[in-house]
Amino acid sequence: MDCQAPSLDFAIIGHQENWQHITALINDIRTPRLEKLPVEKIKSIFSFIPPRDVFKINAKSKTGAEANGVYIETFIDPDMLDAQYIRTNISKVMNAVAFAKKLGAKVVTMGGFTSILLEGNFDSFSPGPSKFTTGNTLTAAFIVKGVEKAITQYGINLQESNILIVGATGDIGMACTNYFKGKTKKMLLCARNKNRLQKFALELIKDNILVNYSIVLDELIPEADIIICVASSTNIQMANCKKNVLICDAGYPKNLETTIDNPAAVHLFHGGMGQVLNGYSINPDYSKSMYHYEAPYISHGCALEAIVLALENKFETYSTGRGNITNDKMEEIYDLSLKHGITVAPFYNTKGLW
Amino acid sequence: METLQPASITIEEFNVISDIFSQAITGELIGMSNFASLVETIDDPHEKMEAVEHANSERSHAEGFMAYAKKKNLKININLHSPYWGNVRKQFLSYAIKKDFIACLIIQEVILESFAVSMYTDVANALGGEAGRLFHNIADEEKEHLEHSSDILRAELNKDPKAFIKKFEEIHFNCMTILAEFTATTDLRGHCGVCNGDCMKGALHHIGLDVTVMRGNALALYASALDNIGIPGEKSIIWIARLPA
Ligand SMILES: NC(=O)C1=CN([C@@H]2O[C@H](COP(=O)(O)OP(=O)(O)OC[C@H]3O[C@@H](n4cnc5c(N)ncnc54)[C@H](OP(=O)(O)O)[C@@H]3O)[C@@H](O)[C@H]2O)C=CC1
Ligand SMILES: [Fe+2]
Ligand SMILES: [Fe+2]
């Protein structure tokens, strides 16, 4: 059909970060010819809309290959990400999954909170040709490679540094921990569920890794030289950081700058992000309202994982479940990513590029 | 006579239920008239008979609502020329005159039925009892109309997607705009001309309903109907986002 992508290599299932972004997008779709709708009116309709593809995406590789996909919006209310709304949200995600299958997408990534809602578990999906991935392997790879690049830039010695992972027992948190263990002075691990945290920490201690762990973030922060925040909560508070601590904010939404007590004294960048050097385009072009970065062609690692897999014709369930991301897998997807000219995004935060 | 007078329900509840029945009866009579108009414009004998059957089905819905209203002594106001319903009818006639069967199907069986099925279901759940059953039963029949038309329209889309989507888009903006204005929280075209006193929209809470939720549910069903027909998501989101709110 003329309105569909010629062949659907990939689909990205996602949701919007806040109502400001949604208002901008809806008014962009409305075009300036129609009166701008205030956020209250948009709120009264947006979350009712069933998931659907909103725009096509064409991504270009440095090899000359191209991948065609779509972005499928779940219409999840950004103020309703808490556990109490889990049933509504899971049902939206499952509808989006059905939509991606109907469109015949060969590989589908579950962006933002959508994979967390399902705990990365795709077992309940009815079988079909579409393959699903959480996108967490490339996200984790971009985080760790980004941190390595940043410490070089700041002359930080990794072996003499303590790395704090907030959200250490999560899929991405475990991947980052396993990547850095043995390369640092000490690993500092934080999560809310004590049993899970203790179990994970004890495994590392068995391997002779120096570990401090706590469910109280404040107990770990003063020791940290590097902080990777990959918690699935929107309200992480950070106080008493060391001066010039390096912080990789890779959670969703990336809002640590608003909760940290002294943002001027830290080096903070938004991590887990990549850049497509040969570019990507979206159609209809809503980038005016949807694109919020200071450099071109930036996107989330989870979205880019689907694009890399599509460019590689590697239509498989690459990342699934929790705790399955190995260092080898991270290196593999990162190498494939580089092959197609998709690199760690330039460092930036809400103030702009570093 | 059994009545729904203040002894069992409050005056506010009585008024809003009366208005809901007034709207439903008016809507059904519009549907009946639409199909009746279509009959004269169709040459194919089978399609002609089908249109008569459809008109009769909407008539029986109107009759069902009227019978209940009479039994309960509701205050019914029927106005086929009211600003919203009258305009929907005008839109329908403009296509019926051109013998555009597909356009008529889109207006009556997709746009109007999506709203009917969704809103009748919401009302049925809120009212419960005999009235609830009545609304549920009619919603079920309207659902069949919606599904039946989806099959025809899907086939039509496959014949020439570009032309079909262009045509659907035009009809969407001509007709759905009227329904969007009708169901907006604030009256965008003045009084609806059907409700007694103030428009019922502000009084729905007396029976546990909310116009925002009802409109949201109706738009959601409409969006799913569009998906079912095969309208691409990137089109339907534009159509919905550009409606008045
Ligand atoms: N490119 C990008 O930017 C991407 C970002 N993400 C984001 O990364 C984050 C992690 O994703 P993922 O690993 O899949 O999620 P998981 O659900 O697997 O892990 C989340 C982790 O965070 C912990 N956690 C949650 N709340 C808190 C808290 N308040 N304090 C400390 N720890 C907490 C959880 O443990 P516990 O429940 O025990 O606290 C768990 O260890 C999410 O925010 C996700 O949206 C994901 C993909 C791409
Ligand atoms: Fe009817
Ligand atoms: Fe009908």
What integer pLDDT is reported at residue B219 of this predicted model? Answer: 97
d(C-alpha A313, C-alpha A67), whole Å: 9
If asked whether residues A40 and A101 sit together in one domain, one would say yes
Q: What is the predicted pLDDT for the residue at A98? A: 96
Q: Do B232 and A55 touch (CB under 8 A)?
A: no
Q: Are residues A123 and A173 in the same domain?
A: no
Chain A CB contacts of B227 under 8 Å are 50, 52, 99
Query: What does the block give as tokens for A273?
Result: 């992000």
Integer CA distances (angstroms), A236 to A190, A220, A252, A259, B245, in order: 11, 13, 11, 7, 36
Is residue B61 included in any domain, yes or no? Answer: yes
What pLDDT does B3 receive? Answer: 54
**Least confident span in B58-62, B108-112, B179-183:** B179-183
Task: Pick the atom of ligand 1 nearest to A120's CA.
Answer: 14
The set of residues, in sequence order, having a beta carbon less than 8 Å from that of B181 and lying 6+ positions away, is B84, B188, B189, B244
**Does A41 sit within 8 Å of B161, measured CB to CB?**
no
Whole-structure pTM value: 0.94
Same domain? A168 vs A263? yes
- Tell me how far apart the alpha carbons of residues B122 and B180 are, in angstroms, rounded to a whole number: 17
User: Is position B207 within any domain?
Assistant: yes
**CB of A193 closer than 6 angstroms to any ligand 1 atom:** yes
Mean pLDDT in residue range A267-293: 96
Q: What is the pLDDT of residue A1?
A: 40
How high is the pLDDT of residue B189?
67
Q: What pLDDT band is residue A261 in, cutting at 50, 70 and 90?
A: confident
Mean pLDDT of B126-151: 94
pLDDT of residue B233: 98
The pLDDT confidence band at residue A123, using thresholds 50, 70 and 90, is: confident
* 8 A C-beta contact, residue A174 and residue A168: yes
Kindly tell me if the per-residue pLDDT of B183 is higher than 80: yes
Domain enclosing residue A234, as ranges: 143-272
- Percent of chain A at pLDDT exceeding 90: 87
Chain A residues whose CB is inside 8 A of the B236 CB are 52
Best A45, A77, A99 residue to mutate vs chain B (most B CBs within 10 Å): A45
Are B220 and A50 in contact (CB < 8 Å)? yes
Residue A4 reports pLDDT greater than 90: no
Residue B223: its chain A contacts at CB < 8 A?
49-50, 52
Mutating which of B162, B217, B237, B240 best tests the A interface, going by the most A Cβ atoms within 10 A? B237
* CA of A250 relative to ligand 1 center, distance in Å: 9
Question: Using an 8 Å Cβ cutoff, are A348 and A269 in contact?
Answer: yes
Which residues sit opposite A282 in a β-bridge?
A57
In this prediction, residue B195 carries a pLDDT of 79
Q: What is the pLDDT of residue B155?
A: 97
Q: Where residue A263 falls among pLDDT bands split at 50, 70, 90? A: confident
Contact between B179 and B116 (Cβ < 8 Å): no
Q: Are residues A20 and A90 in the same domain?
A: yes
- Residue A117 near ligand 1, beta carbon < 6 Å: no
Higher pLDDT, B42 or A306: A306
Looking at the fold, whether A170 and A244 belong to one and the same domain comes out as yes
Q: Please give the pLDDT value at position A241.
A: 94
Paired strand residues for A211? A187
In a domain, B151, yes or no: yes
- Those of residues 144-163 in B touching chain A at CB distance below 8 A are 161-162
Is the per-residue pLDDT at A315 higher than 60? yes
- Worst-scoring range by mean pLDDT, A58-67, A79-88, A198-207? A79-88
Residues of A engaging B, defined by a Cβ cutoff of 8 Å: 1-4, 26, 29-31, 34, 37, 41-42, 44-45, 47-50, 52-56, 70, 72-73, 99, 284
What confidence tier does B187 reach under pLDDT thresholds 50, 70, 90? low
- Beta-bridged to residue A214, according to DSSP, are A190
C-alpha distance from B123 to closest chain A C-alpha (Å): 18
Q: Where residue A2 falls among pLDDT bands split at 50, 70, 90?
A: very low
Whole-number mean pLDDT of chain A? 95
Q: Is residue A349 part of a domain?
A: no
Whether residues A113 and A215 share a domain: the answer is no
Q: How many domains does chain B have?
A: 1
- What mean pLDDT comes out for the span A55-76? 98
Q: How far is B241 from chain A (nearest CA, A)?
A: 6
In a domain, A352, yes or no: no
CATH number at residue B69: 1.20.1260.10
Pair (A117, A147) in one structural domain: no
Among residues A272, A301, A332, the one where a domain terminates is A272
pLDDT at B154: 97
Looking at residue A3, its pLDDT comes to: 41
pLDDT, position B196: 78
CB-CB contact of B120 with B139 (8 Å): yes
- Split at pLDDT 50, 70, 90, the class of B7 is low
> Which pLDDT does position B124 carry in this prediction?
97
Domain CATH for A180: 3.40.50.720
Residue B225 belongs to domain spanning: 11-241
- Distance of alpha carbon A20 from alpha carbon B65, whole angstroms: 44
Pocket test for ligand 1, best of A121, A230, A237, A320 (most atoms within 8 A of CB): A230
The arithmetic mean of pLDDT across residues B73-86, rounded, is 90
- Res A5: pLDDT: 42
What does the DSSP 8-state code read for residue B6? T
> Given A48, A50, A53, which is nearest B232 (Cβ)?
A53
For residues A296 and A278, the answer to whether their CB atoms sit within 8 Å is no
The DSSP call for residue A238 is B
pLDDT at A23 > cutoff 60 = yes
Q: Choose the final residue of a domain: A218, A246, A272.
A: A272
pLDDT at position A171 is 96
DSSP conformation letters of B127-190: H-HHHHHHHHHHHHHHHHHHHHHHHHHHHHHHH-HHHHHHHHHHHIIIIIHHHHHHTSSS-SSS
Q: Is B67 on the interface with A (CB under 8 A)?
A: no
Q: Testing the interface with A: which of B213, B234, B238 to mutate, by most A Cβ within 10 A?
A: B234
Domain count, chain A: 2
Query: B207 by DSSP, 3-state: which?
Result: helix
pLDDT at B2: 53
Instruction: Tell me what pLDDT residue B4 has.
Output: 56
Residue B235 clears pLDDT 80, i.e. is over it: yes
Give the model's pLDDT for residue B185. 79
Please give the distance of CA A187 from its chain centroid, rounded to a whole number: 22
Would residue B5 count as lying in a domain? no
Q: Is the pLDDT of residue B91 over 70?
A: yes
Q: Say yes or no: A46 and A112 in one domain.
A: yes
Is pLDDT at A177 greater than 80 in this prediction?
yes
